[in-house]
Structure 1
Amino acid sequence: MSSHFDTVLIANRGEIAVRVIRTLQELGIRAVAVYSDADRDALHVHLADAAVYIGPTRASESYLNIDRVIDAAKRSGAQAIHPGYGFLSENAKFARACEEAGVEFIGPPASAIETMGDKITAKAAVSSNDVPTVPGVSRPGLTDEELIEAAGEVGYPVLIKPSAGGGGKGMRRVEKPEDMQAALTSARRESSNAFGDDTLFLERFVDTPRHIEVQVLADKHGNVVHLGERECSLQRRHQKVIEEAPSPLLDEQTRARIGEAACNAARAVDYVGAGTVEFIVSAHRPDEFFFMEMNTRLQVEHPVTEEVTGEDLVAHQVAIAAGEPLAIQQESVTLTGHSIEARVYAEDPSNGFLPTGGTVLDFRSDADRCDTGVIAGSYVSSDYDPMLAKVIVHAPTRGQALDALDDALAGTVVGGLQTNIDFCRFLINQPLVRAGDLDTGLLDRVAGEYVSPRPPFPALVAGAIEAIEARLPEGASVLTAPGEGPSHEPWRNDGWRLGQQRTGMWARFLLGEKPVCVGLDPRPGGFDVRISDEPYDLGVEPRRVRIENDIIQVQVDLLDEVDRSTWAAEVAGGTVWVTGTEGTVGGFALPILPLYDKRLHADELVAEISSPMPGSVIAVHVADGDHVDSGAPVITVEAMKMEHTLTAPSAGVVTLSAKAGEQVGADQVLASVDATDEAS
C-alpha cells in the first residue's frame, strides 16, 4: 500500500489525531497537527512532525473554523487533510473548501456527505437500492402537528430523530401521545444547538433493539467491500461505551446479507473512502435488520475491526484518497478471533455520569492497545468531548476477550479526575453481557446497580491527612501515629484504634492556644471534613485523646487490612486520588464544612441548586418567584455535548441566580428554593 502524499494535515485533536499520526509516520508521510490555545502542550502536538496554531480554545474559533484549517494546510505544505471524526469530518462545506483550495479531503465527496448527513434523504437514497429501512415518516419540513399525527399511525412507542446529525443528540423515545409535544420541543432545541438544524422525523421503535454497524471501504474506481460488523449495543444516551467485533448475534448467513446491504448503501451515493453503515436489529429477530444511518467518516470504534481483520483503516483511507484501487477484495477479508473496546470517559458513574474534568495526575495502561490523547499533565476541560482513551483487546474467543479487557481496564490508571473505568469493568462482567444477550437498553437497566468501589481505607486516610495538613494555618501540626512524630502512616497496628463500628477518622489540632477538632466522615462518593470549636463529639471517648509536645495525634480505624505497598494516595485540589494495581479506584473530595455552616442545620429551609460541572445554561424552566413542586425542572445546563436538567430539591419559592446563555462553573449556585411556607 503506497501513497502519493508526502505531507498530510490532521484537522483534529486528542486520541484520533494521535492515531492518524501513527499511521502517517509508518507510511513515511510528514504529519502536521493543528492546535488551539487549550492544546498547546497536547500529546498530538508533540508527536506530529509539525504543528500549526489555529485559534482560541472555543472549537468554533479553531477546530471548526474552515478558513483557519485550510490556511494551516497551505502554510504547512500539506497535499491532503485527514479530518478524523467529529468536528469537520462530516461537513460538506469543508470537503468543498478542500477541493477549491487544491487540497485532497481524505473522505467521501461532498455530495455523499450531504445525502447521508440528512437522515431523511439518506433513507430515501438507500431504499432505492434495496436496503431495508425502519417504518416511519421521514420527509423534509415536518411540523409538530404532522409528527404527532404520524406517531398515532406508526404506533407507540416511537423514536423522534434529528435529520441533521447523530450521537443521540435530539433523539427522544416517546411511549404515549401525551408526552409527544414536550419531547418534540426538547428534541428541536437540542438538535438546533448541536447541528444548527431542528428538522425532525419519526420511526417505529424496534423492540429490544441491537445496534450493529458494518465497516465499508470504497475506492474511486467503483470497488466496494465490507470488513464485517461491530456490535455497539452497550450505550447510554445513544453514546457507545463498549464495542466489539464480530457481533455475537449474527450467523455467517446474516453477516453476509447485512454486509451486502451496507455495500449497497455506499453504492447508492457513490461513496468513496472509509464509512460505517449502521443498522438496528431486533434481539428477537436477528435475521431482520433496518438501515439507521451512514457515518461518512472513520468511527471511534474502528480499532476492533482492525484487530479482527488485520487491516489498517487509516492507511486504506490515505491510499483511496490518493486514487489507488482497493488493496483488498471481498473474498480476502477474514475475521480472526474477537476484539472488544472500552471507551474511557471523563465522567462520574456514581453521580449520574456527570462530566468531570481537571488535570491528569497520572496516566498509564497495561493494555496491548490503548488509543489516547492524554498524558500526565494533560488538562481535561468541558470545551471538548469527554472521551480520554480507548482500551482495546483481541483474543481467540469472546470470553477470553472479555477477560482480557477486564484485566486491561484494571491496569489502566487515570489519576486526577473521575472516569468510567470501573463502571466498564462492572458492565462487561454482567451475566447478560457475558452471554452476549445484549440490547441498547441493557446498560441503563443495570447502571442503577453499580456502586463505586471503596478504596482501601489506609490509603484514603493517608491522602486525607495530607489534605487536612495542607489546610492548616501556619504553626499547626498533626501526628498520625502515636509516639513517632509527624508521619503519613495511619495504618500502623501499634497504638490504639477507634471502635469497630466507625469507618471515619478524626483529629484534634492545636491552633496556637485554641484546640480544634476535625472529623473526616464517609459519605456516598467521598468524605466530608467537619471542623468545629471544642468539644466536637465524634463518638470517641475523651480518654482516647492524646497530646504530646503540643502535637495532636490522629486516631484512625483500620477496618481494611491491605498491603499498603500496592496502593498510593495523592492529593490535588482538595481531592484524594487512590491508585494501585487495580487501577484508579477514584477521587474523594474533601470539602471543609464548618459545624455552623447553614447547610448543616436541620432547620435550614433554603436549598441551593448548584451546577454539577462547568457548562452553559441553555434553558430556564421557571421564573423568579415561581412556586415549584419537589422534583420540578428548574434549569438545564449543557456540558460536553450533554444536557443536564437540575430539579427542585423540595417544594417552595424559586430565586434565580443565572439566566439562559450564561457560562457557569462547577458548584456555582444557579438558583435556590425557599421551603419556609411549605414547612409552616
Structure 2
Amino acid sequence: MFSAVLVANRGEISCRITRTLHSMGIRSIAVYTEHDRDAKHVQVADAAVLIDSYLSVESIVAAAHAVDGMHAEAVHPGYGFLSENAQLAEACAAAGITFIGPGVEALEIMGDKIASKKHVTERGVAVIPGIAEPGMTNDDLVAAATEVGFPLLIKPSAGGGGKGMTIVRQPDAVAGALDSAHRVASAAFGDDTLFLERLVEKPRHIEVQVLADSHGTIIHLGERECSLQRRHQKIIEEAPSPLLDEATRQRIGEAACEVARSVSYIGAGTVEFLVSDNAPDEFFFMEMNTRLQVEHPVTEMVTGIDLVEWQVRIAAGEKLTVETPVLTGHSVEARIYSEDPANDFLPSAGQIVHLHEAGDGSAASAGTSSASTTDTAAANVRVDSSLIQGGTVSANYDPMLAKVIAHGATRAEALRALDRALADTVILGVTTNIEFLRALLNRDDVQAGDLDTGLIERALAEIEFTAPTPAVLAAAALSIHSERWMPGSPWQQPSGWRVGQHRPARYRLACAGQVHEVLVAGPPNAAEVTIDGTTTPARLTSTGVEWGAQSIRLAMETVDATVWVGQEGTSWALTAQSRAESLADHRATLARVAGVVDPELRSPMPGTVVAVAVANGDSVTAGQTVLTIEAMKMEHPVVATLDGVVDISLKPGDLVTRDQIVARIESPQASTEGETS
C-alpha cells in the first residue's frame, strides 16, 4: 500500500479524498494555486505544494516529489481538471508514479465521446442517433444538423459536466451555438471538437457505478438517477432510481459492465445512459466517465462501500473482495452552489462570514452511512464541503461549494432528511442556491419521482423566492442601529427636553433590487420598529430577534454596511444606503421616463471577457450579443438594450467587476433629438 498520495485537485473532492486516505493511514499531499493558498483542502492535507495551474500536467507530476521527506507514490486526480486526461496518466507512468485511475486505452477511447459511441456500438450497446465523425468543420456540422433532426444537442467530444452542451431547436441557431460551444470546450478541456446528437424529449439521466480490478473482476454497484439538471449540470442526484424495476436494473448494470470490459477498465468509473420516461425499459449509452463522480456519495450511502478506498486499493494491485451489493434504503444528494437563482443563477463570489453545516460528517469518514432510520438524525446526513469560516469563494473556479447527502429507509425519508439538512445549513457572505434546492425538493413531481432533465427549466417560472419579512428587515435595521447607538448621548435619552417627539432613526435597506424603509425608535434592546406604517416592538437576541410576541431564530452577520441574514436555508444581503445613495436613487427615479431603456450595458458579475462580438462604432440592434463574460466556468452574454451605435473598448482577456459599465449604446433617435433641440 502507498505511504503518500498526491491529490491533484481542489475544493470538496480534495478534502473528501484526503479523509479516506487518512482513514487508511496514508499521508496526503495537496496542490494549490495562489487563489487557493488558504483553502480548506490545503489545511486538511499533510503537506501542500504551490502550482501554477490545476491543468498543468508538468506541475502535478513535479509536485509529487516536491515535499522534503514525503514522496507521493501515487496521484489521485479527483474529478474535473486532469482526471480524465491520458497525458497525466502517461506522465505519471514515465515518472514511476501510480495513476489512481484507468489505463490509457480507457482514457483515450472513453475520453473521446465520438470514439466511445462507435466503440460500444460494436459491442452491442445501443446509442442515441447522431453525427459523430472526427475532423468535422463547423460547415460540416451545420449541414449534418438537418440530417440529425431537431431538436438536437451539441456536445463537446472531450467534455463532461454539461459544459459546452447546447440545445438547438431551429436550423438558423446552429452556427451561433457552435461558436459558443467551441469556446467553452476549448477553455474547459483544451479540445473544441464537437458532435451532434438527437435530443430525446423528457429524458431521464441514469448512470451506473462500476468497479473493476486488474485481475479481471468487474462489478456494478447499482444506478443513480441524475435527471434534475439545469443547463446539463446535475443538481440533485439519488440512488437508486425511482424509475427502474429490478429486471431493468440488472440489464443496465450488465450493459455498464460490458462497456467497462470493452476497454479493459480498472478502478471506479461511471457509465451514463439516457432513458426515456415513456419507455423506461429502453436505455441508450451516452458516455463513460473514467473517474470518480461528484454524486458518488449516494452510491456509498446505499451500498456501504467507500469508492475512494477501493480506487486506492485497486491501484495498489489488490483484488476486489466485494460483490455486486444489495442496495439498502435510499440516498439523495444536493449540490450547493455560490450562485443567485433569483437573478438568472449568476455566480457569486466573496468571503464566508458565517458558516454552519448540517450534521457532523462522521458518517462520511469511511464513505458509508451509519444512519438509523430516523430521518432527522444527524447520522443520516453527510456533508462533503470545501467551506471554512472566513474563507474566500473565488470567481476563478467552479461555483460548487459543498454537497449535502441524506440517507433514509425509504425515498420519502431520505427526501425529508435532506430538506431538513438544507434548512439547517447557513452560508452567509455569498449568495447560494439553498432556497432553490429546498423549493425543488418539495415539488409534488419531485416527491413523486416524476423526473426528467427538463423539469427544472419548466419549474423555474413556478418557484417564487422569499422576500425579506418584516422581522428580517427589523433584525437587519436593529443590527445597524446597535452599532450606531450611543447610550451616553443626551440626544438619545428617552426623557429630557426637546422640540417635538423623539425622531426615529431611518434606515433604507437595499436587497435584490428593492429598497425597504425601516424606522427604529429607542434603544436596540427595546425598540419600536415601523415598517409600511405598522409599528411593532422588537429587540435583538443572541439567537435572532424578538418581533412582537414572536421569538424568531435568525443567523446574522454584519459586514460594513451590509447585514447578512439567514433563516431556514434562505439568506438575504441587506445593505444600508447612505443619505447620498438614497438621494441618488430618488433623483434617478424622478428623472427616468417610463419606457426609457438604459443605454449603459453593465457586467452582471465579476469575470473575464472571453468574446467581443462587435467593434467600436458598429451598429447593433436590441437583443444582439455585444460581448460575452465568463465566470466560474460559465459564459454570460451581455446584449444590446436598444438599437444604436456601440461604444466599447474591452477585448478578450480583460477583467471586469460586477456592475462595471462594459459598453454604451448611442441611439440615433437620441442624437437626432439632441441636434434638433
1:429 partnered with 2:417: no
The 1:272–1:280 alpha-carbon spacing in structure 2 relative to 1, beyond 3 Å, is: same
The 1:571–1:336 alpha-carbon spacing in structure 2 relative to 1, beyond 3 Å, is: same
In the TM superposition, what is the alpha-carbon distance from 1:77 to its structure 2 partner? Answer: 1.2
The 1:78–1:175 alpha-carbon spacing in structure 2 relative to 1, beyond 3 Å, is: same
Q: Is the 8 A contact 2:426 2:555 kept in 1?
A: no
Q: Is the 8 A contact 2:273 2:285 kept in 1?
A: yes
The within-5 A match list for 1:247-326 is 247-326=241-320
| Distance across 1 between alignment mates of 2:618 and 2:163 | 30
Partner of 2:35: 38
Partner of 1:108: 102
SS at match of 1:448: helix
Counterpart of 1:235, as a letter, is Q
Partner of 2:392: 379
SS at match of 1:404: helix
Partner of 1:656: 648
Partner of 1:14: 11
Partner of 1:225: 219
The 1:471–1:453 alpha-carbon spacing in structure 2 relative to 1, beyond 3 Å, is: same
SS at match of 1:20: helix
In the TM superposition, what is the alpha-carbon distance from 1:632 to its structure 2 partner? Answer: 2.6
In the TM superposition, what is the alpha-carbon distance from 1:484 to its structure 2 partner? Answer: 8.9
Counterpart of 2:62, as a letter, is D
Q: Is the 8 A contact 1:144 1:184 kept in 2?
A: yes
Render the CA deviation track for 1:200-221: whole Å, top value 9, x for unaligned: 1111111211111010011111
Render the CA deviation track for 1:251-274: whole Å, top value 9, x for unaligned: 001111111111111111111110
| Distance across 1 between alignment mates of 2:433 and 2:16 | 22
2:47 is matched with which residue: 43, 46, 51? 51
| Distance across 2 between alignment mates of 1:447 and 1:478 | 53
Render the CA deviation track for 1:392-451: whole Å, top value 9, x for unaligned: 000011111111111110001111111000100000111111111111010111112222
| Distance across 2 between alignment mates of 1:478 and 1:381 | 46
Partner of 2:402: 389
Render the CA deviation track for 1:56-90: whole Å, top value 9, x for unaligned: xxxxx232222222222113311111111112111
1:583 partnered with 2:569: yes
| Distance across 2 between alignment mates of 1:673 and 1:564 | 51
What residue ranges of structure 1 are gaps of 5+ in the alignment?
56-60, 486-495, 498-505, 509-517, 530-537
Counterpart of 1:252, as a letter, is E
| Distance across 2 between alignment mates of 1:477 and 1:403 | 51
SS at match of 2:452: coil
1:441 partnered with 2:431: no
Render the CA deviation track for 1:434-480: whole Å, top value 9, x for unaligned: 111111010111112222223342333333455589799x999999x
The within-5 A match list for 1:24-103 is 24-48=21-45, 50-55=46-51, 61-75=52-66, 76-103=70-97
In the TM superposition, what is the alpha-carbon distance from 1:112 to its structure 2 partner? Answer: 1.1
Taking only aligned residues, the RMSD between alpha carbons, in angstroms, comes to: 3.0
In the TM superposition, what is the alpha-carbon distance from 1:162 to its structure 2 partner? Answer: 1.3
Q: Is the 8 A contact 1:125 1:269 kept in 2?
A: no
Q: Is the 8 A contact 1:360 1:380 kept in 2?
A: yes
The 1:324–1:477 alpha-carbon spacing in structure 2 relative to 1, beyond 3 Å, is: farther
In the TM superposition, what is the alpha-carbon distance from 1:672 to its structure 2 partner? Answer: 2.0
Q: Is the 8 A contact 1:526 1:587 kept in 2?
A: no
Counterpart of 2:50, as a letter, is I
SS at match of 1:149: helix
In the TM superposition, what is the alpha-carbon distance from 1:315 to its structure 2 partner? Answer: 0.6
SS at match of 2:65: helix
| Distance across 1 between alignment mates of 2:427 and 2:187 | 31
Counterpart of 1:437, as a letter, is D
1:117 partnered with 2:111: yes
SS at match of 1:595: helix
Partner of 1:144: 138
Partner of 2:583: 595
Q: Is the 8 A contact 1:215 1:274 kept in 2?
A: yes
SS at match of 1:422: helix
Q: Is the 8 A contact 2:510 2:577 kept in 1?
A: no
The 1:252–1:130 alpha-carbon spacing in structure 2 relative to 1, beyond 3 Å, is: same
1:520 partnered with 2:508: yes
Number of equivalences: 623
In the TM superposition, what is the alpha-carbon distance from 1:676 to its structure 2 partner? Answer: 7.1
What residue ranges of structure 2 are gaps of 5+ in the alignment?
360-380, 537-546
Counterpart of 2:47, as a letter, is A
Partner of 2:632: 640
2:429 is matched with which residue: 416, 425, 432? 416
| Distance across 2 between alignment mates of 1:458 and 1:96 | 60
Counterpart of 1:321, as a letter, is A
Partner of 1:483: 494
Q: Is the 8 A contact 1:132 1:289 kept in 2?
A: yes
Partner of 2:358: 366
Render the CA deviation track for 1:491-550: whole Å, top value 9, x for unaligned: xxxxx99xxxxxxxx966xxxxxxxxx652666x25448xxxxxxxx8x9xxx99999xx
| Distance across 2 between alignment mates of 1:478 and 1:670 | 49
Counterpart of 1:579, as a letter, is G
In the TM superposition, what is the alpha-carbon distance from 1:189 to its structure 2 partner? Answer: 2.5
In the TM superposition, what is the alpha-carbon distance from 1:605 to its structure 2 partner? Answer: 6.6
Q: Is the 8 A contact 1:528 1:589 kept in 2?
A: no
In the TM superposition, what is the alpha-carbon distance from 1:124 to its structure 2 partner? Answer: 1.3
The 1:564–1:381 alpha-carbon spacing in structure 2 relative to 1, beyond 3 Å, is: farther
In the TM superposition, what is the alpha-carbon distance from 1:197 to its structure 2 partner? Answer: 2.0
Counterpart of 2:558, as a letter, is V
Render the CA deviation track for 1:161-192: whole Å, top value 9, x for unaligned: 11111222222211122222222222222222
Partner of 1:609: 601
The 1:145–1:527 alpha-carbon spacing in structure 2 relative to 1, beyond 3 Å, is: closer
Partner of 1:454: 467
The 1:545–1:405 alpha-carbon spacing in structure 2 relative to 1, beyond 3 Å, is: closer
Indicate the larger mover: 66-75 or 623-632: 623-632
Name the TM-score, length of structure 1 as normaliser.
0.85
In the TM superposition, what is the alpha-carbon distance from 1:583 to its structure 2 partner? Answer: 3.4
SS at match of 2:124: coil
Partner of 1:135: 129
| Distance across 2 between alignment mates of 1:437 and 1:547 | 53
| Distance across 2 between alignment mates of 1:79 and 1:546 | 67
| Distance across 2 between alignment mates of 1:643 and 1:457 | 36
1:161 partnered with 2:148: no
Q: Is the 8 A contact 2:428 2:571 kept in 1?
A: no
SS at match of 1:393: strand
In the TM superposition, what is the alpha-carbon distance from 1:336 to its structure 2 partner? Answer: 0.6
1:336 is matched with which residue: 311, 328, 333? 328
Q: Is the 8 A contact 1:651 1:678 kept in 2?
A: no
Partner of 1:404: 417
Q: Is the 8 A contact 2:351 2:392 kept in 1?
A: yes
In the TM superposition, what is the alpha-carbon distance from 1:243 to its structure 2 partner? Answer: 0.3
SS at match of 2:614: coil
SS at match of 1:287: coil
The 1:221–1:553 alpha-carbon spacing in structure 2 relative to 1, beyond 3 Å, is: closer
| Distance across 1 between alignment mates of 2:104 and 2:148 | 33
SS at match of 2:599: strand
